[in-house]
Amino acid sequence: MSRYVIKRILMMIVILWCAGFVVFTLTYLTPGDPAMLQLGQEATAEVIAQRRAYLGIDQPYLVQLGRFMVNTFLRFDFGKSWVTNTNTMAELLLRLPRTLIIGLGSMIINVFIGTILGIIAGTHEGKWQDSLVMIIAMVFVSAPDFFVALLLILLFALKLGWLPPYGIETMAGYVLPIISASLGGVAINARQARSAMLEVIRADFVTTARAKGQNEKIVVRKHMLPNAMMPIITGVGGGLSMVVAGTPIIESVFSIPGVGNYLLSGVNQHDYPVIWACVIFFALFSSIAILLTDLCYAFLDPRIKAQYSAGKRKKVK
């Protein structure tokens, strides 16, 4: 198992190098001149040339790429924003906790409520509970984030006065963004959990358990749920890697200075160091999240654990 983890960590380094190369090349190939964009339409060609030289984007591709790879992966220097002149990684880490609160908060809601709704729907297939859950899921998945966010602001901030309409001065400011960001995920998780439950509900081992006279609740909890968890965990793993990317629309509506907003402003203003830092950070976080997901598989599924053990035994032989 430990060899597997070490192997995956080594692979992660290669993935990060590849991500760095790809994101740098893509931004290099993107049409448009960052200097021109930053200085506005009143800047002369001479001033634009000066700015390009200052940013170092007047040099050949290989020189720029080499400098970027060395600075990023050998010196761990992600550079300064071309617009704000601040350290990109420091700024990203400053914003990360706000994004994590929203991301993890909405993920917890997604997983718990989505899974519970999915189980209810799956175990009541064709009944009114199933229809109700699917209707709710349909509404949640169809409603755009920003629309839901505005409705929630109208209700909870304006009409009821319970929560602030924007800002993060207190933790109360996070409630509406978390709810707004989680509705789509609840729907997706509910549908996924329902499908997974329906797959195992007719499995032989479930029929056997029922034939033995097991209580239905025990059948669901001990036999169906652990087997239905695999696709749910896959979804959670994927979702976890998205958590740090933030939700730019939600952050924008609620004026939350998070990572999503930071990346969005970097893209809009061709502030490439911001894009590079964000993408490499996302790649690192995603790699770790996927590794953890795989380890969870091994923990939950004895067959996968056996594969690791078998590999180890084979090696020992």
Q: How far is the CB of 170 from another protein (least distance, A)?
A: 6
Q: Count of CB atoms within 10 A of residue 254's CB?
A: 25
Q: How far is the CB of 23 from another protein (least distance, A)?
A: 19
- The smaller minimum CB distance to another protein, of residues 33 and 125, is found at 33
Helix (H, G, I), strand (E, B) or coil at 32: coil
- The smaller minimum CB distance to another protein, of residues 35 and 275, is found at 35
Q: What are phi and psi of 104, to 5 degrees?
A: -70, -40
- The smaller minimum CB distance to another protein, of residues 159 and 303, is found at 159
The number of angstroms, rounded, from the C-alpha of 258 to the middle of its chain's C-alpha atoms is 13
Q: How far is the CB of 96 from another protein (least distance, A)?
A: 13
d(CA 58, CA 28): 11
Q: How far is the CB of 86 from another protein (least distance, A)?
A: 5
Q: How far is the CB of 88 from another protein (least distance, A)?
A: 12
Q: How far is the CB of 201 from another protein (least distance, A)?
A: 22
Which pair of tokens denotes residue 160?
């009821």
Q: What stretches of the chain show up as alpha helix (H) in DSSP?
A: 2-29, 34-39, 45-55, 61-69, 88-123, 128-142, 145-152, 175-201, 204-211, 216-218, 225-243, 248-253, 259-268, 272-300, 302-316
- The smaller minimum CB distance to another protein, of residues 10 and 151, is found at 151
Which pair of tokens denotes residue 306?
């056996």
- The smaller minimum CB distance to another protein, of residues 55 and 69, is found at 55
- The smaller minimum CB distance to another protein, of residues 180 and 286, is found at 180
Best CA proximity match to 114, nearest among 216, 202, 250, 232? 232
d(CA 112, CA 185): 11
